[in-house]
Each structure stands twice: as structure tokens, then as C-alpha cells.
């Protein structure tokens, strides 16, 4: 018996296609990663801002940095589309699955990145934020992305652009890069190491399929070097957590609240090093997210709110 396609069915199918494509384009921008990055942009701006806060500049900084971050993520998807097709967790992404053409993704990524840099340049009173955002995108796309298949040091190198979002915010507020911006950079730089080591451990078999040379992939099966690197980076993070206090951005309340978070995170890293498995790796990953969120909140409470209360 032949199935007759009714006009209503055709209309329903046509209505679904644009929404599916929109969801695919949104996926290319990595919205969850962008949201975390924009949180640090806002914190950097608020800590660097003078007492007379310019909310319009804050909005411009977040929007421009958001466009650049989205563009960089789209270009990352475009660059890694063939590798993504080799890994189970990424094979169904829009590009390797063939739901979107690579040329469209490339054009979108370039448009968002260039448009975001231009937006920052024209809406803020100084070019510092635009220059920092452009450097961030270039390092992420053109340096870190290809290095993922070349060297185990890719995570360390990739932590540089990953730590620049708060510097973008600081530059938008001050027109330059001071000790406060470097303190925020240090925290984000070191924090990314245990964060991404745990992610790479959880997906190391998949990364191996894609030829990714993450440390847990090239490490031996028991992961001794991954465990040591995770603990070492958390020890350094315990020290650099105090950097905003040393730079004069915050007071004693910040130390009282943030250092216990860093110690708690370090304990999770030690547990992972002693017994590297999926459970302890997930604990490190969750701990990294709780640590960073907590530190950002305390920075605002102790470093920003007192100016306006």
C-alpha cells in the first residue's frame, strides 16, 4: 500500500528543518564553554573597573567577547571535523555527521570572530580588549587546535588562550593589562590543567581513536604522569589562588573563602593520583567547576561589591 504524503506532513517537515539547523549552528558555538568564559570576562571587567561603573561598556565587552568565543569554537569544529568523525562522542556533531556543510561553518566562524573583534574595537574607548580577543582566538584556533595531534603539551599551551577572557574584561575596563589582570590570568591558566587532564582521562580511549596526543592518552595505562601532573597543578593553583589578594584586588575574606576551596580541590586530585579511575576523574572534573565558580563569586563579593555598598 502506497503512503501518500499529505500537505500537512510536508509543512510539518519543512517547519522542523530550520529549527534543527539552528540547533546545529548553536552547537558549533559551544554555548556552555562560552558561558563560563564570559563569566570570567565580566569578573575581569568588574574588578578592573573604576568606581563609576560603565554598564554599557560591560555589555559591549561581554557581547564582543561572546562573538569572538563563538567564532573560535565554530572554527575549532571546522578544523577538527574529520578527527571528530573518528571519535564516538563527537561523531554525531553537525559537521562530521554531514548535517551542515563545512564551507558554511567556516564562513560563520570567520564572520563571528572578525565581527566580535570589530565590535570590541568600535564600541569600547580603547583597542586593548579587541587586540586581546583577537590574540585569544588566533592562539586557540591556529595554535592549540593543531597541537592536539602533535604534542602532549597541547593542554599547557591551550591554557594560554583559555586564561585570556578575564584579561579581555580587564582591558575593556582599564585600557591595558595590569597586575590584577595577570593575577586572574594565573588562576585561569593553572586551573585548566587539572580540569582538562580529568576530561582527557575520562575520554582517553576516544581521544586515542582520533589521534589526539593528550597526556592521559600517551601515558601508561595506570596514568602515573597524569596523576602527578594533576596534583602538581593543583598545588600550584593553591598558591596562585592568593594572587588577587597579593595584587590588592580583594581583602582577607577572599583568602578565607577561596583557599579552603583550593585545598578541597587538591584533595580530590590526590585521590585521583592514588587511584586513577573514572570515578576519581569525575570528582576532579566536578571539583574544578565548583572551585572556579566559587572563586569567581568570592572575587565579586569581596572585590567588587564593597565599592558600591
pLDDT digits over 236-287, tens only? 999 999 999 999 999 999 999 999 999 999 999 999 999 999 999 999 999 9
Which residues have a Cβ under 8 Å from the Cβ of 233 and sit 6 or more positions away? 190, 193, 194, 197, 269
Give the N- to C-terminal CA distance of the chain in Å, as an integer.
75
Given the C-alpha cell 574584561, which residue does it identify? Answer: 169
Measured distance CA(9)–CA(144) in Å, rounded? 46
Cell numbers describing residue 294: 566559587
- Torsion over CA of 35, 69, 288 and 172, rounded to 10 degrees? -80
- Rounded Cα distance, 303 and 287, in Å: 23
* Architecture of the domain delimited by 29-177: Orthogonal Bundle (1.10)
| Mean pLDDT per 10-residue section of the chain, whose length is 309 residues | 42 50 91 92 94 90 97 97 93 94 96 98 96 97 95 95 97 93 98 96 93 90 90 98 96 96 97 95 97 97 88
Residue 201: all three cell numbers together: 582521562
User: Measured in whole angstroms, how far is the alpha carbon of residue 85 from the centre of its chain?
Assistant: 22
Distant-in-sequence, close-in-space partners of 250: CB < 8 Å, separation ≥ 6: 244, 298, 299, 302, 303
Amino acid at each position: 500500500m502506497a503512503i501518500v504524503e499529505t500537505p500537512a506532513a510536508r509543512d510539518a517537515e519543512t517547519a522542523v528543518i530550520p529549527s534543527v539547523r539552528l540547533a546545529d549552528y548553536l552547537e558549533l558555538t559551544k554555548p556552555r564553554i562560552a558561558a563560563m568564559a564570559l563569566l570570567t570576562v565580566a569578573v575581569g571587567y568588574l574588578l578592573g573597573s573604576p568606581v563609576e561603573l560603565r554598564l554599557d561598556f560591560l555589555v559591549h565587552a561581554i557581547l564582543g567577547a561572546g562573538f569572538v568565543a563563538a567564532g573560535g569554537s565554530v572554527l575549532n569544529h571546522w578544523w577538527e571535523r574529520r578527527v571528530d568523525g573518528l571519535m564516538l562522542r563527537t561523531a554525531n556533531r553537525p559537521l562530521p555527521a554531514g548535517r551542515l556543510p563545512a564551507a558554511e561553518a567556516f564562513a560563520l566562524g570567520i564572520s563571528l570572530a572578525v565581527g566580535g573583534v570589530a565590535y570590541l574595537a568600535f564600541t569600547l574607548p580603547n583597542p586593548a580588549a579587541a587586540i586581546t580577543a583577537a590574540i585569544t582566538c588566533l592562539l586557540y584556533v591556529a595554535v592549540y587546535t593543531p597541537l592536539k595531534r602533535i604534542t602532549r603539551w597541547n593542554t599547557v599551551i591551550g591554557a594560554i588562550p583559555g586564561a585570556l577572557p578575564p584579561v579581555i574584561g580587564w582591558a575593556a575596563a582599564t585600557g591595558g593589562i595590569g597586575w590584577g589582570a595577570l593575577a586572574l590570568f594565573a588562576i585561569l591558566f593553572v586551573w585548566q590543567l587539572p580540569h582538562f587532564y580529568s576530561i582527557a582521562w575520562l575520554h582517553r580511549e576516544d581521544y586515542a581513536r582520533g589521534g589526539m596526543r593528550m597526556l592521559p592518552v600517551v601515558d601508561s595505562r595506570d596514568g602515573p604522569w597524569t596523576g602527578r601532573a594533576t596534583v602538581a597543578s593543583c598545588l600550584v593553583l593553591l598558591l596562585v589562588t592568593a594572587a588577587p589578594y597579593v595584587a590588592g584586588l580583594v581583602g582577607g575574606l577572599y583568602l578565607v573563602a577561596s583557599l579552603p576551596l583550593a585545598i578541597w580541590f587538591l584533595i580530590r586530585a590526590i585521590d585521583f593520583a592514588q587511584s586513577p579511575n573514572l570515578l576519581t576523574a569525575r570528582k576532579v572534573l566536578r571539583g574544578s567547576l565548583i572551585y572556579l565558580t566559587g572563586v569567581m563569586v568570592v572575587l565579586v563579593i569581596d572585590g567588587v561589591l564593597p565599592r558600591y555598598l
